[in-house]
Amino acid sequence: MDGIYEVVLGGVNARGLYGENVSHWQITGTSGTDPYATAQALLIGFVANVANPLLSLLSTECTLNILHAKRVDGTGGPTAFNPFAGTGADLGDMQTMAAAIDVAFYPGGALNRAGHWFLWGFRAAKVIADVIDPTYLGNVLTFFATTASGFTIGGSGVARMVTYTKKTKTGTPILHVDVRPKLTGMNKRTLPFT
C-alpha cells in the first residue's frame, strides 16, 4: 500500500549501550492494499539495501539487532518486525556511543529543515580530534546518497527516503546529503526525524 512508512533501526555496542535511528520512506507503485505487507516488503528491501551495507561503516563491536516498520500517514497500520541481526565489519575499537557523526538530509523546495541520521558505532580511529578521516567521510557520503535515492520493494514498488513532517503527515524527497563537520554529543536515544 502506497504511503509514508517509518523504519526504526537499533543496535548495541559490546558494552550493552543502545542506540537507534528513525528514517521515513515514501512507498509508491505497490499494487497491494495491506500496509502490513508493504511494511514487511520495505524491511526486506531495507536489510538488503541499507542495513547490510551500513555494517561496513560500523565497528566490529557494534551489532544492529532492532528493525521494525509501520505506515505513519493516512490511517497508519500495524508494525512489522524483521529478525535482522548483523555485526559491524570495520575491525577495531568502537568510538563511544555518546558521540555520533551527524548526517544531514536536505529536502528540495521551500522546506529548508534538514532531517538527520546520527551515525554511531563507527571505529574510534575514523575520527581523530573531531576530524573525520577523509576516506571514511567519502564512504559515509556515498552510502547515504545511495540510500536516499531509494530501492525497489516487492517487485514493483519503490521506496525513497524522505524528510517527514509530522504535522501534515507528508514527506519531501531528499535532494542533498551532507555530513556536519563536528561530532554530535548524544545524551538520549538517537531519534532524528528523517
- Residue 160 forms part of a structural domain: yes
Q: Is 109 left (phi over 0), alpha (psi -120 to 50) or beta?
A: left
Whether 173 maps to a domain, the answer reads yes
Total domains present in the chain: 1
One pLDDT digit (tens) per residue for the chain, 194 residues? 999 999 999 998 887 888 888 999 999 998 788 999 999 999 999 999 999 999 999 999 999 998 999 999 988 899 999 989 999 999 888 877 677 888 988 887 656 678 888 888 888 888 887 789 999 999 999 999 888 889 999 888 999 999 988 888 888 888 888 888 778 776 544 444 43
Is residue 53 situated within a structural domain?
yes
Position 193 in a domain: no
Report if residue 116 sits inside a domain.
yes
Q: Which residue has the cell 524528510?
A: 163
Give the pairing type, strands 131-132 and 62-71.
unpaired
Would you say residue 191 lies in a domain? no
Q: Which of 69, 81, 50 is nearest to 7 (CA)?
A: 69
**pLDDT tens-digit series, residues 28-73:** 998 788 999 999 999 999 999 999 999 999 999 999 998 999 999 9
Task: For strands 86-87 and 157-165, give the pairing.
Answer: unpaired
pTM (2 d.p.): 0.89
Q: How many CA atoms lie within 13 A of 56 on its CB side?
A: 12
**Contact at 8 Å (CB) between 84 and 67?**
yes
> What are 66's three cell numbers?
532492532
* Residue where the block lists cell 520512506: 25
In a domain, 192, yes or no: no
Range of the domain at 155: 3-185
* Position 133 in a domain: yes
